[in-house]
Chain A
Amino acid sequence: MSTPDLAIAPSSRRLPARLFHPRRLQGLAPVLALLAGWEIASRSGLLDPKLLPSLLTVAGRAGRELAEGRLAVDVAASLARDIAGFGIGSLAGIVVGLALGLSRAAGRLIGPSFNAVKQIAIFAWIPLISVWFGVGEEAKIAFIALAAFTPVAVNTWEGACAAPCKLMEVARVLEFGRWRSLRLVILPAALPAIFAGLHLGLINAWLATVGAEYFMTVGPGIGGLMTEGREHFHMDLVLLGVLLLGLIGLALNTLAARLEARALRWRHR
């Protein structure tokens, strides 16, 4: 055993050293191998290039779409929908979650129904929403809002219920009023759960954005781009869509995690 017994964080924190650490490169190997295998299979004709276009083809498609300005329009449309739906859904989720958590009557009366309704897989709402709201922008945003709403409401509800009794007793001893207890005790105590809900909601909203664009194929969007690619058998377009979905999902996820860590700094002190 040559490692020290105490687990201690490496003292060197210089970025290049970390980035090119052999252990990091180890993880890149399978990624590179996959890409290389893909490229070789595609170029050698081992696999039909129509089924698996080479990376260059995909890159070329990305460049063309970008130059024509369509890509930017699609991405912007998807993002705008995602944010609008997420905003509406998460706001409603926080309000409903707080109401359920703070009012015992509301929790007992509406809670069980809410728990039952959330079991309906989110996509099952699409046919109903498309009848009620059409297949335009409103329907898509309504669907995304619904997808974001559920996890935010559930987590806020749990968080508001979890306001620790001991802290509430402190609030009583200090003779806090309702508003002050809410602002100084319940909300801060519920905050971690609310943020966890918002994070989940953001992921759900992005999933719903893609779904909404698949099912209600009107107007620009990444989902529409992929559907078009599939219908015309343009695999490069489809793969471009997959790439965009992953990248934007990753960016949203990272952003949410950062904001969450930032807002909850006190937990790690």
Chain B
Amino acid sequence: MTNLELSRAAHESALIAGNGRLDFPVETDPKPIGALLRPALRPALCVVEALAFPLALFGLWTLSSRLGWLPVQILPTPEQVAATLADLAGSGDLWFHTSISLLRVVQGFALGGTAGLLLGIAMGLSPRVRRTVEPLFTALAQVPPLGWIPVLMLLVGIDEGLKLLIIAKAALVPVALNTQKGIRNVPDSLREVGAVLAFGRWATLTRIVLPAAVPSVFTGVRYGLTSAWLALVAVELLASSEGLGYLMVWGRQLFQLDMVIAAMLVVGLVGFALDWTLSRVERRLQRWELAGS
């Protein structure tokens, strides 16, 4: 190897060692000592900072209930909410309602997500299918899932079928739209590579189109799950005799706001957990994108 080649190789391995990035010294403002200490404490500091605001709010809430600023019917005390939550958890009611809601959302999402995926793939791959289906699809998608509830109530009643259909519809639209978009936006430059390497239809689909569409499809799936959860809460509030939404209606009717707030907390927690799980899966599927950064 010549010197040039050696230095080049060294340069390139340095690039790799630095995880694909060259670090240039950047001129920055002089920092206080506290800032220098920060890197070591950063994770802990982040947690403290993130908790400061909720703790302050919680403090205000406690203070308000102690001093009786608002009647308990308007704002229950933190102790009441905690006690109700413990009660519900202890009696098994909480798990019962949560599991019912979860089951509904999983079933509805599986149904709507699969249909949306298939529809999106068909619309993305075949211009003919897209031209044929798109106007009808767009027209039906314009009406929010909530709008279909009264229609379906009359058509299929207020049983599980209604909930399943509404949740499925809520999941279908974003999944189908994003899948279609992802497939149609596969860069021509990569399609040409496939053509040059004599890929057939199947290889083009499995090696180029689908992998390239994954990020967009996943955006759709996450969005679909969020709107499925949203639709579930709505439909349970309107027509249900069990589930987290029903728990809220019940608490509202009994004027037990502590139960309403407890149920809201669970709704938020489950929504967060669902989204977090998907974001983990997404990161795993797209490790090639994160590898360099």
Contact = CB atoms under 8 A, between A and B. Distances in A.
Given A108-B46, A245-B144, A253-B142, A120 B136 contact: no
A110 B251 contact: no
A128 interface: yes
B286 interface: no
Interface stretch (B3-11, B87-95, B109-117, B233-241): B233-241
Nearest to B75: A132
Contacts of A206: 144
Nearest to B143: A246
In this complex, the interface size class of chain A, counting residues with CB under 8 Å from chain B, is 35 or more
Contacts of A132: 74
B267 A124 contact: yes
A130 B252 contact: yes
A177 interface: no
B252 A131 contact: yes
Interface in A110-138: 110-113, 116-117, 119-128, 130-132
Nearest to B70: A132
A109 to B, nearest CB: 5
A23 interface: yes
A23 B150 contact: no
A28 interface: yes
Interface residues of B, number: 54
B131 interface: yes
Interface in B86-133: 128, 131-133
23 contacts: A23-B131, A26-B128, A28-B135, A29-B132, A51-B154, A108-B46, A109-B49, A109-B50, A111-B50, A112-B50, A121-B232, A121-B233, A121-B234, A121-B271, A124-B233, A124-B248, A124-B264, A124-B268, A125-B264, A127-B252, A131-B252, A210-B146, A250-B142
Given A108-B49, A120-B268, A210-B146, 16 more contacts: A27-B136, A30-B135, A31-B136, A34-B136, A113-B54, A121-B268, A124-B245, A124-B267, A127-B260, A128-B261, A210-B147, A211-B146, A214-B146, A235-B154, A239-B151, A246-B139
